[in-house]
Amino acid sequence: MVFKKIEGNELYLYINGNLVYKRWIDTGQSKVFDVMAYDKYTYTSIGDLKYENQNGLIILNAILRLKSTEEGGRKTGIISGYRPKHVFEYTADGKIDQTYIGDIVFEDINEILPGEERRIFARFLIHQRIEEYLTKGAVWWIHEGQNQIGEAEIL
DSSP state of 98: -
3-state secondary structure (DSSP) of residue 42: coil
Q: What is the DSSP track for 26-89?
A: TT--EEES-HHHHHTTTTS-GGGSPPTTTTTEEEEEEEEEEPPGGGT--SS-B-TTB--EEES-
Residue 110: predicted pLDDT: 86
Of 25-34, 47-56, 132-141, give the lowest mean pLDDT range.
Answer: 47-56
Q: Kindly tell me if the per-residue pLDDT of 76 is higher than 80.
A: yes
Digit-coded pLDDT (tens) for 94-139? 888 888 989 999 888 889 999 999 999 999 887 788 888 988 999 9
Range scoring the smallest mean pLDDT among 90-94, 116-120, 139-143, 150-154: 90-94
CA 74 and chain centroid, separation: 22
List 104's β-bridge partners, or say none: 82, 122
